[in-house]
Amino acid sequence: MKNSIFLVGLLLYAGNALGQADIYAGDAFRYSEITQTGTARMRALGGNHASLGGDASSVFGNPAGLGFYNRSEISLSPSINITSAQATYIGNQRSNSITKPGISQFGLILAGNKQNENRRWRRTALGITYSRQVNLANNFQFQARNNRSSIVDTYIVDANDRNLTGAQIDADYNTSTNEARYLAAAAYQLFLINGTASSTNPNQTGPPYFRYDASAPTDQLNTFESSGGHSQWTIAYAGNLDDKLYLGASLGISRLRYDFENVFRETVVGGAVFNNYSQIDNLTVTGNGINFSFGLIYKPDRNLQIGASLATPNFTSIKESFEQSIRVDAKDPSLPINRNEVFVEPINFEYNLTTPFRASGGLTYFLGSGKIGFITATADYVGYGGMRATTKVYDTQDNTAFKNDVKTEVMNTYKNVVNLRAGAEIRAGLLRVRGGVAYLPDAYKQQLNNIDRSRVLVSGGLGIRTDRFFVDASGTYTTAKSAYTPYTLPNTADYASAQIDSKMTNITLTLGAFF
C-alpha cells in the first residue's frame, strides 16, 4: 500500500504532472512493495524462494528451482485477502474492513525426460505461471468534528495565491462541459468561495476570498477505497548439472491495474448556507512491463542447498487518468446555484516506471536427509533508492526536469533495504506442517508522521502430498501503520492527519496434480 502522504499530493493536484516528483516517487514505491507471493506452500514458509526448489513459485522466485522437477505439474492457488483498518482522526476512532477474493497463482511445469546417466546435464524443466505480486486493494474511513478548518479553506488559499478576479476565475470554467480548470474555480461556481467587492469597482470581485459559515464547525467524513494489483505472467527454463548445480532464467510480463475513489464530505453544523459539500477524487492507472531474473542453487551435500537469484527492475509503461469534482447541497434557497456538481478537467498522463533491482540469497538445511523436514532462510536485497520515472509528454527540457526531480525525490526519501525471511517444514507421512516469519524494514530514510513502517509477517500452513496430487493451505498475518492527511493549510495547527492501523490476513489454498 502506498504511503498516504503521496496520495494526498495527488488528491490536491490541480495542474500537470511536472513538478509532482513526490507523487511519482510514491507511485514507484507503491507498485514495487512486494511482501509475499506464490503458492500456499511458499507463503506458509514465509516467502523463502532463494534456496528451495520443486515449487511452481520458483518460476518467478528463483528459476533455478525448476531444475528439481522430475515430473510435470499443474496448480492453482485461490486466495482471500482480509484487511481491517482503524483510523484515528481528531481524537475519534472509526473501523472498517474489506474482503477481496482472487487468484494468487497459477502454474504449469513441464519436466523434461531424464537424460542418460553419462551426461552431466541430468534434467531440464519449463515453467509458466501467473502470480499476483502486489495487492493494491484497500479501504479505510475516518470521521470527526473539526472546529478549526474546512477543506474549503484550501480552495481559498489557492484562489488568493492566484490573485485573480472573480471574472478571471469564471473564465477558467467551461459552461458547456461543466468543467473547471482547477478546484478553486469549481468551488467558485458553486459559491463555496466568494470574492470581496472592489473598493473602486463594486461590480468586480477578487481577493481576499472567503466562505460562508466560516465560524461553523464541520463534521468531516473521508472514505477511501482502492482495487487492483500488480500481476505477472512468467516463463522460466532451468537445468540440472550433476544433481549438484541448478541454473535457471525467466522472463516476466507484468500487468498493473489500480483504481481508487476518495470522497471527503463536510456537513456544516448549524450552517445557514450549506448543508454539506464533498470533494470526489478518482484515479485509474494501467500499465504493462517486462523484467528478467536469473538464479542458481548449489548442493554441496545431500542435506544442504545454497541459492541466489537476481531480478532486474520491472520496466513498466503506465497510463493514468485523474478526475475530480465538487458536489454541494445548499440550504439557503436564495443561493443562485443552477447545478449541484462541477467537474475539474481530467488529467491524463503517461510515463515509464523503473522498479527496484532485487537480489536474494539463502540456504536450506534438510533434517534426516529431508525425511523429517527442513529449515530455510533468505535475505532479499531491494534497491528502492534506484527507482526511477521518465516521461516523453513534454519538451526535452521539461522531460529531463521531470526525470531529475523524481530521481532526487526518490534518493531523498527512500533507502535500500534487506528483507529477512525464515521458515520450516515438518513431514509426517503425507502430512506437511509449515511455519514462517518475514521482517520487512522501513524503506523510508526518515519516519513520516513519527510512524515506523517496518512489518513483520507471520505465516503457517498445512499440506498433504501423494503420488498423484497435493493440497496446501496457508495463512499470513501482518499489521501496518500509516497516516492520511485529507488536506493541508499553511498553518500546520489548522489541519489534522488520520493515523491508520491496518491488520491484513491472507488465506491461500493451492490445489495441484502431477502428470
Q: What is the pLDDT of residue 18?
A: 54
For the stretch 375-408, pLDDT in tens is 999 999 999 999 999 999 999 999 999 999 999 9
Domain assignment of residue 47, yes or no: yes
| Cell numbers found for residue 139 | 479501504
**Number of domains, the chain:** 1
Report the number of secondary-structure helices (H) and strands (E) in the chain: 7, 22
Q: What is the pLDDT of residue 389?
A: 94
Domain assignment of residue 171, yes or no: no
| Percentage with pLDDT > 90 across the chain | 85
Domain assignment of residue 197, yes or no: no
Examine the pLDDT at 430 and tell me if it is beyond 80: yes
Least confident of 55-64, 108-117, 143-152, 472-481: 108-117
CA 179, CA 182: separation in Å to the nearest integer?
A: 9
Domain assignment of residue 200, yes or no: no
Examine the pLDDT at 361 and tell me if it is beyond 90: yes
For the stretch 240-282, pLDDT in tens is 998 899 999 999 999 999 999 999 999 999 999 999 999 999 9
- Band of residue 28 on the pLDDT scale cut at 50, 70, 90: confident
Alpha helices in 363-437 (DSSP H): 396-413
- Band of residue 6 on the pLDDT scale cut at 50, 70, 90: very low
Domain assignment of residue 201, yes or no: no
Domain assignment of residue 461, yes or no: yes
Residues 6+ apart with CB under 8 A from 36: 43, 46, 47, 438, 457, 459, 476, 506
- Band of residue 11 on the pLDDT scale cut at 50, 70, 90: very low
- pLDDT mean over 304-328: 97
Q: What is the pLDDT of residue 504?
A: 95
For the stretch 175-229, pLDDT in tens is 999 999 999 999 999 999 999 998 777 778 999 999 999 999 999 999 999 999 9
Domain assignment of residue 190, yes or no: no
CATH of the domain at 351: 2.40.160.60
Reported as type and span, the H/E element at residue 374 is strand 373-382
CA 156, CA 192: separation in Å to the nearest integer?
A: 9
Q: What is the pLDDT of residue 26?
A: 83
- pLDDT mean over 19-33: 81
Q: What is the pLDDT of residue 12?
A: 36
Domain extent, residue 336, equals: 4-150+211-514
Reported as type and span, the H/E element at residue 290 is strand 274-301
Domain assignment of residue 457, yes or no: yes
Strands 218-241 and 138-146: antiparallel
